[in-house]
Structure 1
Amino acid sequence: MENILAPAAKARISTPVIALALYAVASGYLMSLIPLMLPYYGLDSSLASWLASVFYVGLLLGAIIIEPIVSRLGHKHTLGLCLAVFAITSLVMPILTHSSVWLVARLVAGFSVAGIFVVVESWLLQGSPSIRAKRLGLYMAALYGGSAIGQLGISYVDVGGYVPFLIIGVLVCSSITVVLFGRCEQPQSESIAHLTAKQILKLSHAAIIGSIVSGLVIGAIYGMMPLELADQGIENSDIGSLMALIILGGMLVQPVVPWMSKYLGRTLLMAFFCLLGTLAVSLVMFDDDMRLMASGLFLLGMAAFALYPIAINLSCDNLEAKYIVSATQVMLFSYSIGSVLGPVIADHYMSQEHSLLGYLFSILLATCLYMLAASLKFKNHVVAGE
C-alpha cells in the first residue's frame, strides 16, 4: 500500500508470498494467544484491549514512517529486518512479564508488521491491473490462510510456558531464511504522485468509512474475541478452531468479492456484507449451539474481511494510475485508526450483557444503514446527472 511499486517483468513473487505465509501462521497464533495467556503471567485481562490497540498504533506509525527505510535498504533487507524485529518483540514477552514491557513490545511489533505489509504489497503490486488483482488475491490468501492455521496452535499447544513462543520464533526465523536465501527479483523503486489534502477530501467518503469500520471490527475480533469466547466457557482447544473459522471465512470470501462487484455497486456491496455480519453476530448472540456459533463466526469472518478490499477498490475508482498507491495509503491510515480504536471501544462493552458481540452488532448495523443511504444517494445523483 505504499509508494515503492516495481515494473519488473516476470518477477519472482514466490519468495515474499512464502515468507508472508510463514509470518502469518506465527502472527495468527500470537494474536489469539496473548489475551488467553495474561492470567498465566499474572497480568490483568483488561490489558488485552490495550495490547491490541497499541499494536495498531505501531501499525499506524509504521505505515507513515517505513517508506524511507525501504527506499534505503531495499525490499529484501527491509523485509528480513522487520521479521527479525517481530521475532524479538515476541520472544521478549515471556522473559519480561511486565505490562509496560508487553505494551512497548506490541507497539514495536506493530511498526515491524507495517514494514512487512508495505514491502510485500509493493512487491506484488506490479504490472497491469489484472495481474495486480490476481497477486492481491494470492497475497490475501497467504495472509488469511496462514492466520487461520495459526489459530489452531491454541488447540494443540498449551497457552502457558515457553513452548508457544519457541514455535512462533521458529516460524518467523524460517520466514527470514526464505527471504534471505530464496531466489527473488526485487522491484526497483520509482516515484509516484501523492494526493493533495484537497484530493484526499474528494475521495469516496464511503470508502474511507468502510476502511475505518473494517479496522474497528477486525481489530476488536483479533484483540478481544478469544477473551469473549473464553468468558462463554469455551475450552481453549475450541477457541483456536473457532478463531480459525473466522479467518478462514475471510480467506474464502476474497474471490467472491470481485465476482459480486460485477453485479452490485461497491457501496451497496459493503452494505450487503455489513448486513451479513449483523445476521452472523445474531446467530452467535442468541443461540448457544456450537454448530450455529461456528457457522455464525465463519460468516462474520466473511463480512469483516470483505470490507477493506472493497473500500480500496472504491477509493481508486476514476483515479489516475499514478495516484492509486497514494489512495491506498489513505485507506491503510483509515483502517489503522479503526484498528486502534476498536479494541478500546469494545472493552467498554465487555461488562454489558452481550459484550463484544453487542459491539460488533451495533457497528455493523449502523454501517449497513449508512452504506444503503450512500448507495441510494449516489444512484439518485447519477440519475439526476443524466
Structure 2
Amino acid sequence: MFASLLSVRALLVAIFMLMAGSGFLATLIAIRLEEAGVGALVIGLVATSYFAGLMFGALRVTPLIVRVGHIRAFAAFVSIYSASSLTYALTDYWPIWIVLRFIDGFVMSGVFVCLESWLNRVARPDNRSAILAAYMIALYLGQALGQFLLNLQDNAPSLPFMISAILLSLTLLPVVLTRIAQPVMEDIAPFSLRRLYAASPLGIVGVLSTGLMMGAFYGLGAVFAQRLGLPLALVAAFTSIVIAGGVVLQYPLGILSDRFDRRRVIVGTMLATAAVCAALVLADGPLAVFVPGALFGGFAFALYPLCVAHANDHLSEGERVGASSGLVLVYSAGAVVGPLLGSFAMAMAGPGGLFAAIGSVALLAALFGLWRTIIALPVPAEEQQAFVGLPRTSTAAAVLESEPSATTDQNGDS
C-alpha cells in the first residue's frame, strides 16, 4: 500500500498545495464583502457564481483536456486560477468578483478532472481504496490548514491573495515534472434525472439536499461567524474545524451504513444535521459555535458519500459510474442554489438564518427519507455495496471510486 502511495505522491502534493492555496478564498472573499458593507444577498450571489462555474466546467472541460493533454490543461487551469487570485487584490468591485468566481469554479473543475483521472490511471483493485483515502486526506487537510492564511491580512490586505497565487503557481511543479503517463480519458455519460430518480429517489434527493447545505455553508459560513462577533483568527478556526469534523465522522457513519439499512443511517444523519443546525442558531455566544460546528461538518460531509452508496445499491456494476457522475452534477446544481437560499435567510433572520435554512433542508430531506422507508423495502445488508468515502469534486471521481475499466492502463432506494 505504501508503495502505491509513493507512486502518486506528486499528485497528492499537488492537491494539498492546491487546496491550501484556494480552499480559503471562499472564506476570504465572503469576509471582504462583509467588511465592504454589501448585503448577504450579494455575498450569496458571488458564492453561487463559483458553483455555477464548477457545474459548467464539469460539462465542458473534458474535451479540452483530451485535445491538449493533461499536463498542458492542468498548467493552463492553474495559471488562470493564480492570475484570478491576484486580480482580487487589484479591485474590490463585486460585479467583477462575480465573474472571477465563475472563472475560479470553471478552472477548478478542470483541475479536479485532471488529477482524479490521473489517479484513476494508477489505481488497481488492491490499492484503489488506499489511493482514494490518501487523496481525500490531502484534499481536506489542505483546505482546513489553508483557512489559517486568513490571518495574514492583518499585515496587508492583499497578502492572502498573493500567498494564494504563490501556492497555486507552485502546484504546477509536482505535476509538470511527474513521470506518470497521461491517462486515457473515458467518456462518462450521466444518467438522465428521470432514470436517476427512478433508480434511487432518496439518493438523488439526498445528494441535491447536500449540495444545497454545503453550498450555503461554503458561501456564507464565514459571514455567519463574523456576524456573531468572532475575530478573524476564530473565523478561520471555525471554518477549519467544520472541515476537520467532516473527515472524522465520514468513515464511522459509512461503516454503520454497511451493517444496517442505509436509508435509516441517512435519515438519522439528516436529523442529526438538523439538530446541530438548531444548536448553531441558538448559540448564546461566539465560542459556543465550535462544538456544534465540528458536529455539523461530521454529519453534513458524510451525507454525499452515503447517498451515492445508497444509489449504487440499486444499480448494476455497469451503471454505477454513469449514475455517480450524474449525482455529482445534481450535487453541483444544489450547491448553485445553496448560497442564494442561505443569503436570503440571513437577510430575513440575521446570522442564525443561515443554519436555520440549512437545518430546514436537512429536516425536509429526512422526512422524505422516512417516507421512502415506509413505502419501499430495504436492500438487504449483505447485498449493499461497501461504503466508499468520496470527494464532491468532479465526474472523474465517479471513475476513481469504481473498478478500473478495460481501457485503463494498469501500469503506472429506492
Normalised by the size of structure 2, how large is the TM-score? 0.83
1-structure distance, mates of 2:261, 2:70: 36
The residue number in structure 1 matching 2:349 is: 352
Contact 1:194 1:326 in 2 (8 A): yes
Read off the aligned partner of 1:379 and give its amino acid letter.
L
Q: Give ranges in structure 1 of 5+ residues lacking alignment.
A: 1-8
Contact 1:125 1:136 in 2 (8 A): no
Is 2:362 the partner of 1:364? yes
Read off the aligned partner of 1:374 and give its amino acid letter.
R
Is 2:29 the partner of 1:28? no
CA drift of 1:144 comes to 1.5
Is 2:119 the partner of 1:119? no
SS at match of 1:66: helix
Contact 1:35 1:223 in 2 (8 A): yes
Distance 1:159 1:346, change over 3 A: farther
The residue number in structure 1 matching 2:408 is: none
- One of 251, 258, 261 as aligned partner of 1:255: 251
Within 5 Å, which residues of 2 pair with 1:141-290?
141-158=137-154, 161-190=157-186, 195=191, 199-289=195-285
Distance 1:343 1:196, change over 3 A: closer
Distance 1:197 1:218, change over 3 A: closer
1-structure distance, mates of 2:128, 2:370: 29
CA drift of 1:23 comes to 1.0
2-structure distance, mates of 1:160, 1:299: 33
Distance 1:125 1:219, change over 3 A: same
Is 2:97 the partner of 1:99? no
Matched residues, number: 374
1-structure distance, mates of 2:5, 2:184: 13
Distance 1:294 1:15, change over 3 A: same
Contact 2:34 2:43 in 1 (8 A): no
RMSD between aligned residues: 2.5
Distance 1:129 1:27, change over 3 A: same
Contact 2:225 2:286 in 1 (8 A): no
CA drift of 1:51 comes to 0.8
Give aligned-pair identity as a percent: 26
Task: Between 202-211 and 40-49, report the one with greater CA deviation.
Answer: 40-49
2-structure distance, mates of 1:187, 1:255: 29
Task: Between 337-346 and 351-360, report the one with greater CA deviation.
Answer: 351-360
CA drift of 1:324 comes to 2.7
Contact 2:261 2:378 in 1 (8 A): no
Contact 1:155 1:239 in 2 (8 A): no
Distance 1:261 1:238, change over 3 A: same
CA drift of 1:380 comes to 6.7
Q: Deviations over 1:34-70 (max 9, x none)?
A: 0111255575554210111011111111011111112
CA drift of 1:375 comes to 2.7
2-structure distance, mates of 1:130, 1:361: 39
2-structure distance, mates of 1:316, 1:159: 50
Task: Between 203-212 and 320-329, report the one with greater CA deviation.
Answer: 320-329
Read off the aligned partner of 1:240 and give its amino acid letter.
A
